[in-house]
Amino acid sequence: PQRSDYFDKLRQRMVQHQLRNRGIADERVLQAMGTVPREEFVSKGAQGDAYEDCPLPIGFGQTISQPFTVACQCEALQLQANERVLEVGTGSGYAAAVLSHLAKEVYTVERVPKLATQARATLRRLGYANVHVFSTDGTLGLPAHSPFDGIVVTAGGSQLPQPFLEQLAMGGRIVMPIGEYLGSQMMYRFTKLPDELHVENLGGFAFVPLIGRYGWD
């Protein structure tokens, strides 16, 4: 219990200093990030750094995104609770766990099979029953489980994959970083409206590359 009290304190401090003070305002996002035990999604050796203001390595050259980045993406999806969400880039499963508090069902896709297996085990152990983990090329979406009210991409792409548009419900949002291969992208929100695809630029971020049929080679 002492150990979990310790992480609880670090988590509440992270929510205040890294999220609230920097402009994250959606109370449901703040509540979710104040609940999900980020220390359970990193290796034992990195648990002490779980609430630091940075991404952390999860193996296979991949990372768990900085808490602020996860919060920005979740907030940008504008979730109310009843949505079906697709996440492309499961990684550790941490962001999927946060999304599971914000939406009804979360479908998440990871291209590295061992990361998918590990994330599935972590999410099951922690009891996140509304998260479904798949291992395939996420740039193809998950046609069998579409339509989605929200699609969030946690790796940087070169373009908006056509399958995402086809699998997005009317009124739905896609939140995705698009830009260079390494380290510099703009985060976009695409909203599907009856007569247009509304596009907003949410600012600069740095993600690992999105690799696949509609991503980088």
Tokens at residue 72, please?
Answer: 């920005």
Residue range at the interface with ligand SAM (CB under 6 A); choices 5-13, 21-29, 61-69, 121-129: 61-69
Least separation in angstroms between CB 81 and ligand SAM: 20
Least separation in angstroms between CB 196 and ligand SAM: 27
Tokens at residue 88, please?
Answer: 């492309």
**Bridge partners, 215 (sequence order):** none
- Rg over alpha carbons for the chain, rounded to the nearest Å, is 16
Least separation in angstroms between CB 37 and ligand SAM: 13
Interacting positions 115-134 with ligand SAM (CB under 6 A)? 115
Q: Which of 74, 41, 73, 70 is nearest to 57 (CA)?
A: 41
76 lies in the site for ligand SAM, by CB under 6 A: no
Apex 194 CA angle, 159 and 96, nearest 5: 50
Residue range at the interface with ligand SAM (CB under 6 A); choices 92-100, 124-132, 173-181, 192-200: 92-100
Q: Is 92 a catalytic residue?
A: no
Q: From its phi and psi, is residue 138 left (phi > 0), alpha (psi between -120 and 50) or beta? A: alpha
Least separation in angstroms between CB 67 and ligand SAM: 10
Give the separation between CA 11 and CA 4, rounded to whole angstroms. Answer: 10
Give the separation between CA 48 and CA 35, rounded to whole angstroms. Answer: 17
Going residue by residue from 190 to 209, which x/- string records binding to ligand SAM, judged by CB under 6 A?
-----------------xx-
Count of CB atoms situated within 10 Å of the CB of 130:
16
Give the separation between CA 61 and CA 208, rounded to whole angstroms. Answer: 9
Among 141, 150, 177, 212, binds ligand SAM (CB under 6 A): 212
What are residue 96's phi and psi, to 5 degrees? Answer: -60, -40
62 lies in the site for ligand SAM, by CB under 6 A: yes
Q: Which of 176, 132, 173 is nearest to 150 (CA)?
A: 173
Least separation in angstroms between CB 134 and ligand SAM: 9
Among 141, 163, 172, 215, binds ligand SAM (CB under 6 A): 215
Nearer to ligand SAM, 30 or 70 (CB): 70
Q: Which residues contact ligand SAM (rule: CB under 6 A)?
A: 62-65, 88-89, 91-92, 94-95, 109-112, 115, 137-139, 154-155, 207-208, 210-212, 215
Active site residues: 65
